[in-house]
Structure formats: C-alpha cells, structure tokens
Amino acid sequence: MSGIKKACQKRPISPKVIEDLAEKIVNDLTDKYDREVPGDVIGKMVMDALRQLDQVAYVRFASVYRRFQEATDFVQEVKKLEGKT
C-alpha cells in the first residue's frame, strides 16, 4: 500500500481509488494463492493496475520495483507506454 501511495503522490487520484486498487489486488491474490505469494507476482499486479490508472504513477512504481539505474531505463519504459496508447 505504501508503494502505491508514493507512486500516486501529487497525482489526481483519490485516496479511495488507491484503497480500492489495493483491496482488489489483495482479493485477487487471496483467490489465487492459499499460502505465500511470490513478490514478483504482487509487483506485476500493482504495475498492471497502475498502468491502467495513471501512467505517471505506473512509471514511478516501476522505477523502484524494477530498480531503474539509468535515465535510459525511464525512456524505454515511457516508449513502451506510448506504444500501447
């Protein structure tokens, strides 16, 4: 939840929308997994949800989750977004 909140900081996204997004992810994970959930699955679900919600929030989250090291990493991710819109 904290990572989603940070990614959405200063974006036109209400706290309710963020809460609903997190709740949906938790519910989906609970339906699919009985025990431990791999961290990469959680990260991918959050990135997919943020990509649909707000592209800036998505890039912010992806930059931390994927550990972008260079500015070119950001550029490549933005180009991917542009290709999908």
pLDDT bracket for residue 77 (50, 70, 90): confident
| Region of poorest pLDDT, from 45-49, 58-62, 71-75 | 71-75
The pLDDT, as a whole number, for residue 84 is 66
Question: At how many degrees (to 10) do helices 71-84 and 55-65 cross?
Answer: 140
Q: What is the pLDDT of residues 31-59, one digit of tens each?
A: 999 999 999 999 999 999 999 999 999 88
Domain residues for the domain of 60 are: 2-84
CA distance 73 to 34: 35
Domains contained in the chain, number: 1
The DSSP-derived string for 34-85 is: SS---HHHHHHHHHHHHHHH-HHHHHHHHHHHTT--SHHHHHHHHHHHHHH-
